[in-house]
Every structure is written in structure tokens, then in C-alpha cells.
Structure 1
């Protein structure tokens, strides 16, 4: 199974990229988000690969980031969402934007993807809202005093929230700061991981 490709962009299409790896060219299906990031012919590229093997074909899906590949997998777990629809969604919503759309139950944002209607958007929100945490818009936010990553007890709600954010592609320090903000707002309450993420999200996007 192919997990990652490191090579040179040979050519790109509307939703594909041909990657030259030491003289062997691999055709990968990609979102518009990934195609924008890897550049054009002659540029060095690294793609995280999801390999599909069927009786009559072997197909490679390539992603510029691990977070985008994980979202692709999650989208495919939703009933009646196939690879074409998943790539269409990831073409109009990057991982952070998709996470925000799910957190705020914004089916219309998801439905802006070609071939994806409001009902599919609502189904994605319904089926993924408990599988993934809300994303945090970290850009432009200054660090705030709080617990260091190493001070968070293992297997706690805080640790789970930080781990979930890191898995979405955020730096561990950023995730820890966001969770620290959420803990501070909770006061004397004992919040769960999902609440920590949601409180942090409301603060960061306000």
C-alpha cells in the first residue's frame, strides 16, 4: 500500500496530479485545495496517499496535508458520500473550515460543494458531529497564560481535547492554549472534552 509520495509535479489536471517519483509517474486524484498547495509542473511535492484497491482498478487519492486525508476518510464514512463528493467538499472547505461548518451546523457551507446538496450537508453534520471536535480558528490569536502541555493530566478531558485538535492538524502549543482558554471560561464547572472545544471555539471566532 502506498502511504506517501515524494517527487516532482509532472502535470496537473482539473482534479488530478501526476507525480514523478524517480522516473515513475503516479496519477493521483486531488481536491482543488491540494492542487493549489502543490504548485505546478517542476515543483517538488509531497502527497499523503489514500489507496483504493478494487477488483478492476487501483486508484490513488493525494492530499497536501495529513489533516485533509483524515477528513477524506471521515467523509467517506458518512452514508452515501463517495470519493467524488468528499473531494468536492474538500475543494471548497479546507480542514479548519469544514470543522467549523460541522461545529456550527452550517449545512449550507458544505452544500456549496459541487454535487452536494443541503440534505447531504445535514447528514454529514449529523454523522460526524460526535466523531470530530470543533475546529479552532487560531490565526491572529495571541497566547494566553495557562497550563503548559506537560502539566495537563493524561487521560483527562483537557488532554483528550488537545489530542483531538492536534489530530486535526494544529500545533500542540496552539491546541493547549485554546483548551486553557476554555478551562478558564468554565470556571468551577468540570467540562468534558467536547465542551472545552466548543467554548474555546466560541471565544476564538467572536
Structure 2
């Protein structure tokens, strides 16, 4: 099963994208929120993946955050909520808003998503209200979300992820590691994974 894809973003459409991993293009369906935060093609991209195997197809659903993937899994446990409807919900309601809507029984918020009528919204609230406690929200640091702990990436974890990405692109760890460390030092504590990978690629390509 595919859990994540890291490669060159080859194409972005309204509800899906294509990620080129070592010459193989993977078609990944995603919410509009995930597609909006992807870099411009053909830059390096990383998406978390939920693989759905059917009798007639193997489908990949991509997410920019682990919290969005967790909510996708939870939503699709509700009868009548398939992958398409779950993505539609996540396109209009990010995880923090989704938690508020379900926890507060706000069916009107849920019906903003395509394919969700009043009856289905009620079913989602009824079935998930007791299950959403402790679900990740992906809210930014400093946001107040009762009962939720927000994990903030450290420079060490960013460096490790950047090295994994560069290794996947064919760079040896010995040559990539000092470059990644220089980039992170230059960013002076404001390191972001996408920026670190982009800047490291520029140096390595020289």
C-alpha cells in the first residue's frame, strides 16, 4: 500500500494532481485545500496518501497534512460518505472547523459540501460526535483547540525529512547533509520543509 509520495509535481487539475516519482506518474485525487498548498509544477512535492483498492481500480487520495488524512478515514466510515464526498467536505471545512461542526451538531456547516444533504449531515453528526474527541486538527501553533495537542516540527525533523526527500531524488546522504544543514542555519529557525528542499536542490544542482 502506498502511504506517501514524494516527487516532482507534474500537473494539477481541479480535483487531482499527478506526481512524477522516478519517471512514474501517480494520479492522486485531493481536496481543493491540499491542491492549493502544493507548489507550482514542476517543483518537488510531498503528499500523504490513502490507498483505496477496489475490484476495478486502485485509487490514491492525497493530503497535505496527516490531520486531513485522519479525518478522511473517519468520514468514510459513515454510510453514504464515500471518498468523493469526504474530499468535498474537507475542501470546505478544514479539520478544526470540521471538529467544531460535528461536536456542535452544526449540520448547516456540513451541507456546504457538495453531495451532503440534511439527512447525511445528521448521520455524520450522530455517528462521529463521540469519535471526534482527540482527532488531530492540524491547527497552527498558538491556536486554541480544547483537548488537542499541536505538534510543531523541529529543525531536526525537518532536516531528516529533507534528507529523505533528497535521497529519493538520487543524492547521496554524504553530499546532501551538509547542504541541508547550511540551508537550515541560513534560515535561522524559520525553516520550512519545502523551502529547505528547494534551496538545497538549488545548491546541489550547481
Q: Same fold (TM over 0.5)?
A: yes
TM-score with structure 1 setting the length: 0.66
Does the CA contact (< 8 Å) of 1:38 and 1:44 recur in 2? no
The residue that corresponds to 2:29 in the other structure is 29
TM-score with structure 2 setting the length: 0.66
Aligned-partner SS, 2:114: coil
Change in CA separation of 1:11 and 1:93 when aligned onto 2, cut-off 3 Å: same
Q: How does 1:32-111 map to 2 (within 5 A)?
A: 32-111=32-111
Change in CA separation of 1:141 and 1:19 when aligned onto 2, cut-off 3 Å: closer
Instruction: Answer with 105-114 or 38-47: which moved more.
Output: 38-47
After superposing on structure 2, the runs of 4+ consecutive aligned residues of structure 1 that deviate more than 2 Å are 134-142
Gaps of 5+ in 2: 153-206
The residue that corresponds to 2:195 in the other structure is none
**In 1, Cα distance between equivalents of 2:43 and 2:64:** 13
RMSD across aligned C-alpha pairs, in angstroms? 2.2
How many pairs are equivalent?
149
The residue that corresponds to 1:118 in the other structure is 118
Aligned-partner SS, 2:122: helix
**In 1, Cα distance between equivalents of 2:38 and 2:143:** 27
**In 1, Cα distance between equivalents of 2:27 and 2:37:** 17
Does the CA contact (< 8 Å) of 2:103 and 2:132 recur in 1? no
Does the CA contact (< 8 Å) of 1:4 and 1:48 recur in 2? yes
Change in CA separation of 1:6 and 1:36 when aligned onto 2, cut-off 3 Å: same
Gaps of 5+ in 1: 143-160, 173-206
